[in-house]
Structure 1
């Protein structure tokens, strides 16, 4: 389990899932498992040596998609308390906390200088 303040998960935000799968599959040897999200969205988990390595998110489903790139999630012990402290210090919360079953509680924010990131309290396994 990842500890408080450590990077927990990385996600590629891409506009072309097929091209991204081809690139990372060929170059890094990743395999992929698609996970339907229930609303027509499919989330892809990249596997390295049979273990989850990263996620791929299809930006085509986003109404306001920015540039493609990697997005990091940092583990926190208590998401609500961490967000309160971050807000007091100038952070902007873009997406309020939401729960993903078997994954954890997640929020999207930017630090006072504008660096976007996700914070999450991982689900107990």
Structure 2
């Protein structure tokens, strides 16, 4: 539902849109709608959004916003990310309030996944 003043959509660069789509489809079960060769959109994944073709990627160390998934089974999700072709940037670690890991998808964008404390 569109709500005034609330986050509604996110767009991320992707150097390889097809590889990025394949990764998120395999790791998280996402589906995509293509809008030409240079843009693909996803919906119903907590926050709708899309990927546009560009020679850039989002990394937290460069000041980019970090999008964080939730998982009830953190180790299982980590393994799915790796099986789908993701690269683990930070292994599972504790932080105040839970545990998490960071990964990059095939276009290099950084994401994190968190869960409650063990």
Bucket of the pairwise TM-score, normalised by the shorter protein: 0.3 to 0.5
Give the number of the structure whose alpha-carbon radius of gyration is greater: 1
TM-score (norm 1): 0.42
Q: Per residue, is there more strand in 1 or in 2?
A: 1
Q: TM-score, normalized by length of structure 2?
A: 0.44
